[in-house]
Structure 1
Amino acid sequence: MNVMQLLHKGKVYNGCVSYAGSDLMEVSFEEPSTISGGDSVICFNFQERVQMRVLQVSRSKLVLVPADSEVFKIQAQRDTNYDMYRDEDVSFSSYKLNTYGTLNDDFKTTAVRYCSLSRLGFGFKVNDFSVKMNHVYDTMIICDDEAIHPKIIVRYAHIQERTIRYGAEIHAISPSDLNKLRYYIITQQFREN
């Protein structure tokens, strides 16, 4: 294991890197810290100095990703106006998902398969036309052993051969659910590689 120091709010923590990849780093440490999810830290040793953000915190470990990671640009779009005809030359990184969840509207629950996520929102598939456009839905999305409950607004539909693919922006999501979602995305990408 490589020795790594973490600088956070003027305090230096000593740690050991148990895993280091291009988009994920796991650091173990012994002393208690005040570091929490989403915080920026500077990781350094004798060879390198890297700006990272904390994705997950446990008692003795931190999971870190690069500070400019696309996963931290995923958030609720509540304060922005949706532009249906946005610039097509601008593209955003998309993460593949293969998880199940529900859309809840009043007393009706629809099972869906979530297939992608980007900073613009979720992509999901349903086998019927029951999903309303420009409508806010309460959702439940399964992320490994936990479930998150964001609110989404369905913005477009694309009819495919055997299903309908919908796109929805994230209208509201709690900070803890957002952290769970980010951690789930990164761990899924890590498992695929």
Structure 2
Amino acid sequence: MNSIQMLYNGKVYQGAVAYEGAELMELSLEKPIAYKGGDEVLCFDFKRRRRMRILRGSGNKLIVAPEESEIFRIKARPDQTEEEMFIDDDTMFDSFKLNVFGTISEEFRTLAVRFVDICRLGFGFEVNDFSVKLGHVYDTMIFCDEETIHPKLVVRYVHLMEKTIRYGAEIHSISARDLSKLRYYIAARQFAEA
């Protein structure tokens, strides 16, 4: 393991890099620290320095991702203007494959759906049901391994496919805790697929 130092809240912590990938780094610190998910840290050794954000940790282990990572651009957009909603068709954003199950619900009706991907614009999901309404806010539950997250999604587009119907939904609201779980889940999947 390579030695590394981490600057956090004005203090330098000593540690080592247990794993390093393009979108994820696991640090093993000499002492445990109190932190909040999403906090910025500066990781450095004698060759480099890099701004990172904390995804998750336990004890003296921390999982961090680069500050500029696309997973930190995934967030709720409840007050989006009409101009911001319509982006040039040539604009591409990195998306992350999910392939997880969940539900969308309104009032007394719940539909089982498969969430296929996510990007900074929101989730893509598939379901064989024409009753999903555009512009409508849905309560959702998404299974991320053993945990669930519960964002509110606004359905923005629909695309008829050969065997299913694909919907696109932006995140209307999500708790900080659920957003942290989602970001960690995405980063962990990237690590597992690498």
TM-score exceeds 0.5: yes
For residues 163-178 of structure 1, the aligned pairs below 5 Å read 163-178=164-179
Equivalent position amino acid for 1:81 in 2: T
- For residue 54 of structure 1, give the secondary structure of its aligned residue in structure 2: strand
Percent identity between matched residues is 56
Measured after TM superposition, the shift of residue 22 of structure 1 is 1.6
For 2:136, the equivalent position in structure 1 comes to: 135
Equivalent position amino acid for 2:193 in 1: E
For 1:21, the equivalent position in structure 2 comes to: 21
- C-alpha distance in 1 between matches for 2:144 and 2:129: 24
For 1:60, the equivalent position in structure 2 comes to: 60
For 2:40, the equivalent position in structure 1 comes to: 40
For 2:107, the equivalent position in structure 1 comes to: 106
- For residue 37 of structure 2, give the secondary structure of its aligned residue in structure 1: coil
For residues 76-155 of structure 1, the aligned pairs below 5 Å read 76-83=76-83, 84-155=85-156
Unaligned runs of 5+ in 2: none
Equivalent position amino acid for 2:163 in 1: R
Superimposed CA distance per residue, residues 11-65 of structure 1 (whole angstroms, 9 cap, x where no aligned partner): 0001111101121110011313232210111111111111111111211211011
- C-alpha distance in 2 between matches for 1:15 and 1:30: 5
Q: Which moved more, 1:28-37 or 1:115-124?
A: 28-37
Equivalent position amino acid for 2:97 in 1: K
Structure 2 length-normalised TM: 0.96
Measured after TM superposition, the shift of residue 145 of structure 1 is 0.3
Q: Which moved more, 1:69-78 or 1:16-25?
A: 16-25
Superimposed CA distance per residue, residues 67-113 of structure 1 (whole angstroms, 9 cap, x where no aligned partner): 10000000001122244532123221111111000001101110000
- C-alpha distance in 1 between matches for 2:154 and 2:23: 30
CA contact 1:36–1:57 (8 Å) conserved in 2: no
- For residue 16 of structure 1, give the secondary structure of its aligned residue in structure 2: strand
CA contact 1:70–1:119 (8 Å) conserved in 2: yes
Give the CA RMSD over aligned residues: 1.1
Unaligned runs of 5+ in 1: none
Structure 1 length-normalised TM: 0.96
